[in-house]
């Protein structure tokens, strides 16, 4: 079978997809880093233990938290850079037995089904995550249930996950 979807992108969809990707990949480490920061602050201000270990612990947890937050902006800005290069702000996605083909005025690409790691579903977009932890996304508004089911089946059939 072969399904073709014509998509139209916007800043809002890019932000939604980047945030969904960030949440699935970085929420747990971010929560852990915040908890470690709270523990370090508790050692320093509540227990009044002001030694090099507490300071180092606090410093590393703050740096790690900032790096995780920065990751969202990196992913979002990369997507926005591609979006800004597009003249039509649209793409054609072709889902076939072999994989996904994407065509836009910035170029074309083909990805085999075995390269998909998972699908992250949001209300307005599906984020297709590749095995190298990069991603593509497409708006699901106006896409038939049959097409979405086909994509889900192909990704799962080749070892991917739905999240």
- How confident is the model over 92-147, as pLDDT tens digits? 999 999 999 999 998 999 999 999 999 999 999 999 999 988 899 999 988 999 99
pTM: 0.85
Name the residue ranges covered by the structural domains of the chain: 3-9+90-162, 11-85
Cα 75 to Cα 9, 13, 120, 126, 137, distances in angstroms: 16, 13, 15, 16, 12
Cα 92 from Cα 78, distance rounded (Å): 20
Give me the CATH code for the 3-9+90-162 domain, please: 2.30.29.30
Cα 63 from Cα 67, distance rounded (Å): 6
Cα 68 from Cα 30, distance rounded (Å): 6
Crossing angle of helices 52-85/11-41, nearest 10°? 180
């Amino acid at each position: 079978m072969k399904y073709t979807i014509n998509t139209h992108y916007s800043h809002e969809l890019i932000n939604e997809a980047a945030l969904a990707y960030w949440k699935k990949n970085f929420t747990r480490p971010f929560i852990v880093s915040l908890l470690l920061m709270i523990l370090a602050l508790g050692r320093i201000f509540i227990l009044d233990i002001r030694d090099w270990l507490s300071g180092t612990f606090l410093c590393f947890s703050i740096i790690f938290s900032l790096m995780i937050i920065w990751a969202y902006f990196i992913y979002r800005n990369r997507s926005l850079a591609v979006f800004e290069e597009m003249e039509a702000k649209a793409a054609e996605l072709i889902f076939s037995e072999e994989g996904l083909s994407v065509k836009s005025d910035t170029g074309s690409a083909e990805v085999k089904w075995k390269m998909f790691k998972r699908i992250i579903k949001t209300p307005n977009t599906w984020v297709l995550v590749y095995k190298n932890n990069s991603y593509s996304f497409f708006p699901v508004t106006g896409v038939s249930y049959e097409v979405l089911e086909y994509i889900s089946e192909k990704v799962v059939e080749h070892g991917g996950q739905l999240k």
